[in-house]
Amino acid sequence: MRLTDQEKETIIKLTKKYYGNNAKVYLFGSRVYDNKRGGDIDLLIEIENNAEYANKIKFLAEYERLVNSRKVDLIISSFAKNGAVSSANPIFASARIEGIELC
């Protein structure tokens, strides 16, 4: 996994701040693999209820201010009722299957 300790800690802190303690965040994409280079930070955050879009903007703005790192792509999804990921959007399934759960 190619995240600094500061990046990981900030992601977890902001996830809890803006989406609550029950939210789960997954790192996916090229940053999962140590042998790849570059790339933005791809995150999937699963939440229990629909969150305000403003929270996504606040999360991204605060992350950039605190870490001043690469671009972050942030996907927000509500938990499926049975815990399964909907196949309606394959990126959600891919992020859950190939991603690393940070919290």
pLDDT in tens, the chain (103 residues): 789 899 999 999 999 999 999 899 999 998 898 888 777 899 999 887 776 778 889 998 999 889 876 688 888 887 644 455 555 577 877 888 888 999 8
pTM: 0.80
Cα dihedral across residues 12, 54, 22, 102: positive or negative: negative
What is the assigned CATH class of domain 5-101? alpha beta
User: Comparing C-alpha atoms, which of 5, 41, 45 is closest to residue 21?
Assistant: 45
Cα dihedral across residues 91, 5, 33, 35: positive or negative: positive
- Angular region, 29: left φ>0, alpha ψ -120 to 50, beta rest: left
